[in-house]
Structure 1
């Protein structure tokens, strides 16, 4: 594969194109400063304004959220997996219909495999613009977002209406619901009762892993299997996530029978393949084609780490077991 072909599969951090109207809370005070990025796949955006950098199916979606300090993403639910790792800043993740069932603070490099069927939200509690990278299960990302009822009500008060077709309509732009399209109905009490509300111990103990702990595990000379059937988070959400550092990186080329994705966290990484090479920096995202022999090693001294994602072909279904 030529370098030109591969360049089309590399999304540089500095070239990310944000969408500021991606979701229903885009006008709600406290959430109106956030930016959403759709890197690989269509994601779960409700706005036609989103820009998809790489549309090739991978079996999962890659996205990102960028927010200034004190900006939050409103409480919502997904039918498929949602995994975040913190690229920049300090973030508070919270859950429950009103966000008061539990919370956890994540630092740079930490990863959170958020269980499905719980309302979740997140907030930048750092002192500068922050960025979190997201992996969503399935090529269709589960068909959208399920919002907590109060989020939909707040959005309507600020001019945004979500149609039952999953699309947003902005009255501030003179757009109203089309004829025959009703507003998205609020969840009933019976439906809300079926949403899980796990304890902080259940969520933090089972679904959060810390950067420094994973970094230490790679000093054995092997990648840290973060999410997978044999991972330190034992789950099969439709993809696997590995954590790789210079302690376990190898220049020996290998290939996969499915597309894979490289997402540097620290340092610069030189990726070589049969036909060319490229250097990746933190925040860059690279899609590696199936059956392409390649390698990835740090190109400079100092700390170096990256996340590797590959589809497993499992259904991108529920991860929460109630354990």
Structure 2
């Protein structure tokens, strides 16, 4: 049985306006086309390769919460993870693409849409909107699988722009006079034999089981919260956490609690959260961590569209692979 995350006595909130970005989080930080992106680590250590990355909440949850902010036409390079990776669009329009060269398939997501990308697939994403956009990310496991696996061409391109990734998962900027420490070799590039094990699913394969549209989920959550990602979710999977959508129609003031820390992430409207000993108001882009065992409830505090994603760990990583 997996161990429960340690309990913390207080609710913790990270405001959207207080997020601290890192512009050198990954190996492609200097590569043209990817050099203007910002990475945010909200809960857990994430997978950043930079010592400059700020972590807002370090309490283990069984999963990590992060975000990527990018101006138009800025992209995140092709990579893979050892645990599941889920994104929902907070603002803007985003193109997600996948495959060894990024041409196996793609989908464009709008605000509130969600995609569950399992392990074993190279994926990237690009802001195809007209303004700065933000996507929120959920990664399985407390250590997020130990880092990022980059497509070989990403590592090779980065060398031309001064960034070298060590086998220790840390970045070194040769343009700043940095070099790999003694005894640390460069990150190994995957062989062609290893690359052959990475699937190339088509868009037709991915859309039905790995993408859910916000407006469809809102309709499903009209009377009760809808499980989006979970064993019996709209997108069935067991990536180590469950994601549900709560709307105005399904919100209740009846309090409840969980045996693990849970996270509230509004995507539309303002939400009032009350718990034993306190209350707060959340807006889109805010992230609230509710400790295990704390009785709480959340409901919209103003008129208009209102929805939030709710995340809680399950400790079960059995489904975090591509099944074809």
Q: TM-score range by the shorter chain?
A: over 0.9
Change in CA separation of 1:6 and 1:268 when aligned onto 2, cut-off 3 Å: farther
Select 1:14's aligned residue among 10, 14, 17: 17
Q: Distance in 2 between matches of 1:199 and 1:116?
A: 16
1:69 match: 72
Residue 187 of structure 2 is aligned to residue 184 of structure 1: yes
> Offset of 1:115 from its aligned partner?
2.0
SS at match of 2:218: helix
User: Is the 8 Å Cα contact of residues 155 and 161 (structure 1) preserved in structure 2?
Assistant: yes
Distance 1:78 1:289 in 2: 27
Q: Is 1:278 aligned with 2:277? A: no
SS at match of 2:256: coil
CA contact (8 A) 1:96 1:102 kept: yes
- Alpha-carbon shift at residue 97 of structure 1 (Å): 1.0
Compute the displacement of 1:6 (Å).
7.9
Superimposed CA distance per residue, residues 161-182 of structure 1 (whole angstroms, 9 cap, x where no aligned partner): 0011111001121100111111
Superposition TM-score, scaled by structure 1 size: 0.96
- In structure 2, what is the equivalent of residue 119 of structure 1? 122
Cα offset, 1:7, TM superposition: 7.5
Aligned residue in 1 for 2:3: none
1:220-276 alpha-carbon deviations (Å, 9 max, x no partner) = x11111000110111000000000000000000111111000000000000000101
1:199 pairs with one of 176, 188, 202? 202
Matching residue within 220, 231, 254 for 2:256: 254
With structure 2 as the length reference, what TM-score do the two structures score?
Answer: 0.96
User: Is the contact made by 2:276 and 2:296 (CA closer than 8 Å) also made in structure 1?
Assistant: yes
- What's 2:174 paired with? 171
2:102 aligned residue: 99
Offset, 1:196: 1.0
How far off is 1:218 after superposition?
1.2
The Cα of 1:8 is off from its aligned counterpart by 6.4
Query: 1:72-151 counterparts in 2 under 5 A?
Result: 72-151=75-154
Q: Structure 2: which 5+ runs fail to align?
A: 1-7
Give the equivalent residue in structure 2 for 1:243: 245
Alpha-carbon distance in structure 2 between the residues aligned to 1:6 and 1:18: 27
Give the conservation status (yes or no) of the 8 Å contact 1:80–1:316.
no
1:138–1:316 Cα contact (<8 Å) kept: no
* Corresponding residue for residue 45 of structure 2: 42
Q: What is the aligned residue count?
A: 317
Is contact 1:60-1:311 (8 Å) kept?
A: yes
Secondary structure at the aligned position of 1:142 is classed as helix
Q: Take 2:14 and 2:70, find their aligned partners in 1: how far apart are those partners?
A: 19
Judge conservation of contact 1:74–1:121 (CA < 8 Å) in 2.
yes
Cα deviation per residue 1:116-151 (whole Å; 9 max; x = unaligned)? 100000000000000000000000000000000000
Give the distance between the partners of 1:49 and 1:289, measured in 2 at CA: 27
Deviates more, 1:83-92 or 1:7-16: 7-16
Distance in 2 of aligned mates of 1:262 and 1:149? 36
- Equivalents in 2 of 1:319, 1:55: separation in Å? 26
Structure 1 unpaired stretches of 5+: none
1:311 has 2:286 as partner? no
CA displacement at 1:315 relative to structure 2: 2.5
Aligned to 1:52: 55
Distance 1:6 1:299, change over 3 A: farther
